Amino acid sequence: MTAEREETVAHPPLPRTAAQPPPAGSVDQLPLPGRLSFQSGTGYLLGKVGAVAKQRWTATLAQTGVSPNQFLVLMALAETGQVCQQFLAGVIGIDPRNIVPILDSVEARGLISRDTDPADRRRRLIELTPAGRRIVAELSALGEQSERELLAPVPEADRESLRRILRIVLAASRQP
């Protein structure tokens, strides 16, 4: 081996005794996964929990063949009853121009009906069909089960506190 080559060859570390501390910068000195200081920051934790919750929510929706936007439409209609298309778009936070294909897709599945408003023929009134009400009941049950599983390690008394705090943070983030 040449002298140049010898300088670049890594030598295995010498065995340590239990009394010897690990050398500075060694892997043995690193914190365990999940114990880095940034991993206890609120933003990081919310992001991680949010990712887990979204993954579970997506799996729940997949069981019913409902997309996230279809879910918004169906669940909103379950609470509002019959409403005009423009109002529904506003309630779920979708641009009124973008709601038409979503409504087309749920109508094609027989989950909603759209009728002309007798008071204003330019407006369309949207409501759940019986099939739509059944899928809303199924989505609600699956969602409740998923939430119970996700929050199982959290004491019941703390769950409402968690929801209350999250609503406060969400509301504050929407203010200018």
Residue 120 has pLDDT above 50, yes or no: yes
- Taking Cα atoms as reference points, which of 108, 69, 76, 109 lies closest to residue 91? 76
Do 78 and 91 touch, CB atoms closer than 8 A?
no
Q: Which residue has the tokens 């990712």?
A: 51
- Helix H or strand E encompassing 123: strand 120-128
- DSSP lists the bridge partners of residue 124 as 116
Q: What are the structural domains of the chain?
A: 65-150 (1.10.10.10)
* Global pTM value: 0.73
pLDDT at 141: 95
pLDDT tens digits for 59-89?
Answer: 999 999 999 999 999 999 999 999 999 999 9
pLDDT at 36: 80
pLDDT band per the 50, 70, 90 thresholds, residue 175: confident
pLDDT at 24: 59
pLDDT tens digits for 5-60?
Answer: 444 445 555 555 555 555 555 556 666 667 788 888 888 889 999 999 999 999 99
- Provide the token pair at 25: 């910068």
